[in-house]
Amino acid sequence: MTDADDDFAADRVSAGPSADLEPLLRAVARGDRVAFRALYDATSAKLFGIALRICRDRDKAQDVLQDAYVKVWQNAGRYDPQGGRPITWLAAILRNTAIDQIRRGRVLTAELAAEEGVLEAVADPAPGLLGHADRSTLRACLGALEDVQRDCVVLAYCEGYSREELAVRYDRPEATIKTWLRRGLMRLKDCMDRE
């Protein structure tokens, strides 16, 4: 690393989170460890927040964050400014890393289906909402939904996930999530009205 690289990296480190990330990524692609540290310092808090929302567990989120930065180190040369902003590229790497870990056996779906508290939260909402439904009817109607619709409905209405968070979690556009939620709720309502 040259003195110019040291000066460049030192400037970026002191610039903090508002630093331009593209030059940092170019320097990381050349193997610049100081630039990598500056990139980490500038982006890790935001990316950890995303990981935590996806994983819902601090330890898992830290593992995902570490794995994502290893991928960033290995693939920084693949970043293309024409494809989007650096933070978007970094968030996509993180999101895909988190989803890969979830698919490898850390599936929240099974945990949600097993939690009685989730069903209670849906079965006992504010007065006037689904008040006529008992747990067995609700369980049967939720079971009749497609897995992804059921998961989206439970995450959105019991866990407080926004459409944007669900879009990141399922790697789909927000419009798709909105459609899944709307259709899931319509099918749930129809099922419960029949019971």
Q: What is the per-residue pLDDT across 4-25, written as a single tens digit (0 to 9) for each?
A: 444 443 343 333 443 489 999 9
Average pLDDT estimate for 188-193: 78
With pLDDT > 90 as the criterion, what percentage of the chain qualifies? Answer: 27
Stronger pLDDT, 18 or 102, i.e. the higher one: 102
- Give the separation between CA 160 and CA 180, rounded to whole angstroms: 16
Residue 180 binned pLDDT confidence (cut-offs 50, 70, 90) = confident
Could you give the 3-state DSSP secondary structure of residue 123?
helix
Residue 108 binned pLDDT confidence (cut-offs 50, 70, 90) = very low
DSSP code, position 51: H
Q: Are 166 and 177 in contact (CB under 8 A)?
A: yes
Q: What is the per-residue pLDDT across 45-60, written as a single tens digit (0 to 9) for each?
A: 999 999 988 888 888 8
Q: Is the pLDDT of residue 131 over 50?
A: no
Torsion angle, alpha carbons of 26, 32, 38, 43, to 10: 50
pLDDT for 89 equals 92
Contacts of 64 (CB under 8 A, 6+ apart): 51, 54, 55, 94, 97, 98, 101
Q: Is the pLDDT of residue 142 over 60?
A: yes
- Give the separation between CA 17 and CA 154, rounded to whole angstroms: 35
Q: Is the pLDDT of residue 181 over 70?
A: yes
pLDDT for 106 equals 42
The reported pTM is 0.48
